[in-house]
Chain A
Amino acid sequence: MASAEEVAKEAERRDIRDRWLLSAPALIIIFLAATGPLLIVVIYSFLTPGPYGGVVWKFSTDGWLSVLMQRDIFDDTLAFADAHLSIFWRSISLSFYTTVLTLFFGFPTAYFIATRPPKTREVWVFLVTIPFWTNLLIRTFAMQQVIRNEGLVNTALMALGIIKQPLQIMNTDAAILLGMIYIYLPLMVLPIYASMEKLDFRLVEAGYDLYAGRWQVLRRIIFPLIKPGVIAGSILVFIPSLGAYVIPRVLGGGKNMMLGNLIELQFGAGRNWPLGAAISITLMVLVMIALLFYVRNASGSEGAHG
């Protein structure tokens, strides 16, 4: 006869097995859906481009080579692909500025909302989420109407006689930056607001009581306590910025491409699927590096105290 202990162990084993079996369908779907397409992308990046798009099943590292280098068509020598490098640089720097500027505008906004009475707070949060109701493309085109040469800003400035020639904002990096700040700002405000709302404002009072001025209270008490929200917001803004496609396409014109546009180009007019796949993976690696950096940063400062 089995002892009570064995019966309990057996029951526990069965319990664990049942759980695995029950969650297996979901796990399999998630696994296949997540890794399957990714695997195809990785494989395609090592193949040869087909003449009318698609791929020829012949191993080649040319796709990867072309991410950063270009082969001279006359003497076959390799040189850095300046065009690609500038696109990488534009993507990273514009995403960085977007993150910094959304933080700059988002932090005070979140603070403002969090310090309203609870009922009014809901209204403000609701207002912040309203842009999400409209399609990204429409909002981007709306932005275009504001900044284009015959747009709202230029017409108004010229009517007031402040400028004679319209300001060329469209089709510049500034236009992309403006668009990204506008589109991604709510993604910065909401997580910061979420941690600010949980902030115990008695700690702020305690700070004031202990001779900390407004700036010191912000830097020494509020900021460290809402840091998780700031990090979450930065991730939510930086990562989609890095892969942005619609905004640079509509506001940056054909010339000011970002990584998303470069990838699209390879799968479309460029007819170089392996290169497109390779750039996609490069973008993914960049995102992972950024994430690692954030995670490190977040846990590192925690450790400094303990």
Chain B
Amino acid sequence: MPEQPGRSAIDVRGVRKVFGTGESQVAALDTVSVSIRENEFFTLLGPSGCGKTTLLRLIAGFDFPSAGEILLHGQDIASLPPFKRPVNTVFQSYALFPHMTVAENIGFGLEMLGKPKAEIKARVAEMLKLVKMEALSGRRTSQISGGQQQRVALARALAPQPKVLLLDEPLSALDYKLRKEMQIELKRLQHETGITFIFVTHDQEEALTMSDRIAVMSSGKILQVGTPWDIYDKPAERFVADFIGESNFLTAAIADIGNGKARATLKSGATIEATVAEGFQPKDNATVVVRPEHAKLTSGKGDLSGTVENIVYFGTDTHIHVRLDSSEAFTVRQQNTRSAGCGFERGDKVGISIGNDAAQVLRD
């Protein structure tokens, strides 16, 4: 049966999860709804305690929602135990079985599904090859490195060919270089297997580089769902803009809203064109976000003016911190060339020009 692209693999509908009772009740998830498409690399991004792992555990079946439905290909699975869901998990701690070899770990799910021995053997060999662990199949899981354990955990979860693979911060225990390698590896595996991946992370860079779509979560709510470009360039709320990348927030009066765009009059008096976040309710003063690399520093007059406070060199680029005349802080990121410095010095009076497609009006 050919799978239609764009069909949803997981539908979360109005799910609430409350822990504790009475006074000490905490809503870990506050009425969350989201659709995750088939063959998608979907990331739940947020700081610790935002509810992203809770949502993952509800989909896996380790916890059950207090209210709402979770659909897998249109079928409600919210009440099924985990061993009856065609969904597998890669745990943050890997949770490899210490009393089994690498191959036994990978074959465990298939064995529990009652697959014939020959099929298990073939599939385990295939999985070992997929994660490049053929040479270590007979090892105990305590005898292999963290990166290798990570691969085994992946192979073990992929072996039963789940409809959806859940990954709970699987890269957080790895060092920087290995993490970079595994990010690419995960993308490759997702592409090769065509399985829907739901990936939980608090690392915004990881989310941006790997995901097809990202859901940004905070305090048990999903604030925004979109492609990495959407999330980065058109953040809906201050939290999203702040959590992902660096941002300059300016207060502005908004006028002429229409077609997703508006005119924003900044405190400096300059008026710039800006995109408007979905769900924006017109009000007197709104917050406008401008990414540091989307603004330009000029020695002449720009949309904003201020004084250079600090210059920080980063190798590839330089961050120039400017105190605006309106006393707001503003950072400009400037690509470095090989010659000379950035062309400005502390205490310089400067102007900042904001391009036509550089500002976004936030809804909160």
Interface on A for B, CB 8 Å cutoff? 200, 202-203, 205-213, 216, 220-221, 224-225, 305-306
Contact = CB atoms under 8 A, between A and B. Distances in A.
Interface stretch (B87-95, B189-197, B238-246, B322-330): B87-95
Contacts of B182: none
Nearest to A200: B95
Contact of B89 (A209, A216, A224, A305): A209
Contacts of A210: 83, 88, 108-109, 112, 156-157, 160
B168 to A, nearest CB: 10
B258 to A, nearest CB: 50
B104 to A, nearest CB: 8
A211 B99 contact: no
Contacts of B262: none
Interface residues of B, number: 28
Nearest to B140: A306
Contacts of B101: 305-306
B14 interface: no
19 contacts: A202-B91, A202-B95, A203-B97, A205-B62, A205-B82, A206-B95, A206-B97, A208-B61, A209-B82, A209-B89, A210-B88, A210-B112, A211-B83, A213-B83, A213-B112, A221-B97, A305-B101, A305-B140, A306-B101
Contacts of B99: 224-225, 305
Nearest to B101: A305
A305 B97 CA distance: 12
Contacts of A225: 98-99
Given A202-B91, A203-B97, A211 B62 contact: no
B81 interface: yes
Greatest chain B CB density within 10 A among A200, A209, A211, A306 is at: A209
B100 interface: yes
Interface in B62-98: 62, 81-84, 87-89, 91, 93, 95-98
Contacts of A213: 83, 112
Nearest to B89: A209
Interface string B28-72: 000000000000000000000000000000001110000000000
B113 interface: yes
Contacts of B98: 203, 225
Given A305-B101, A305-B140, A208 B82 contact: yes
A221 B61 CA distance: 19
Nearest to A225: B99
Given A202-B93, A210-B109, A210-B156, 5 more contacts: A200-B95, A202-B95, A209-B62, A209-B87, A211-B112
Nearest to B166: A209
B108 to A, nearest CB: 5
Given A206-B89, A305-B100, A305-B140, A212 B95 contact: no
Q: Pick the 9 closest A-B CB pairs, nearest first.
A: A210-B109, A206-B95, A211-B112, A208-B82, A202-B95, A212-B112, A224-B99, A209-B89, A211-B83
A225 B88 CA distance: 22
Nearest to B57: A205
Contact of B83 (A208, A221, A224, A306): A208
A210 B98 CA distance: 15
Contacts of A207: 97, 108
Nearest to A206: B95
A220 B99 CA distance: 10
A162 B131 CA distance: 67
B323 to A, nearest CB: 50
A208 B81 contact: yes
Greatest chain B CB density within 10 A among A210, A216, A221 is at: A210
Contacts of B97: 203, 206-207, 221
A258 B2 CA distance: 74
B52 to A, nearest CB: 17
Contacts of A206: 89, 91, 95-97
